[in-house]
Amino acid sequence: MLQKSRTSICSTAEKSNKKKKSEHFEVQQGDVLHGGRSRYTILQLVGSGSYGKVAWSVDLNTKKEVAVKVFEAEKTRAARRELKMLGALSALDPAKANVVQFFESFTHRGLACLAFEMLDKSVHQLMCDRRWKPLSLAEIRLIAEQLLTALNALKSIGVIHGDLKSDNVMLVNHESEPFKVKLIDFGLSSGRNLKVQQVKPALFIMASRG
């Protein structure tokens, strides 16, 4: 869901400002998270926000890399809100709709967790890496077309993203599929007459198995 370990001129300051908070976060590199379908070993904490952290992890069943969004203890309500939106998104084909693929929700030591496919890096990070060298018109058009497809898919199920920005537009694999993007982060999304599927909000108040 977020990029793997990278250092850039954009991320250095953020890491410095959040270092103290990261040291005391409830999950760390090497921890094993126990989900309902699988177990995930944290390789590295690669992203953060007001909700908590994103962990670059490996699924111990499939050996595939995944991104696990781990919410801080006081952010359970935010986790439930995002899970509700992800339930609505389950009506879409993530590949065709250009939205991140969601795998499962679970708790670890009382913390709400959401497991997603692992993506490459955000468009914001791409621009940082390029030192803000402008994209070509063809590159902009390619990204825009995919975003319009994603937004149209969300509209078809009555969902408004609510936080559309370059940080939430992720490159799938820029090396093998240049400028192939997906939309992520539905924590601020809203909607009407949602047909919510596979949502279990009580999951986040159950005792942790981890």
- For residue 53, which amino acid is it? K
Q: Tell me the Cα Rg of the chain.
A: 17
Q: Is 165:124 a contact under the CB 8 Å cutoff?
A: yes
Query: What is d(CA 181, CA 145) in angstroms, rounded to the nearest whole number?
Result: 10
Active site residue 163: yes
User: What is the CA 94 to chain-centroid distance, rounded?
Assistant: 13
Catalytic hit among 59, 93, 129, 163: 163
Does 69 count as an annotated binding residue?
yes
Paired tokens of 117: 């496919």
Separation of alpha carbons 16 and 133, rounded Å: 25
Structure tokens at 150: 């994603």
The residues carrying an active-site annotation are 163
Mark the binding-site residues for ATP, compressed into ranges.
69
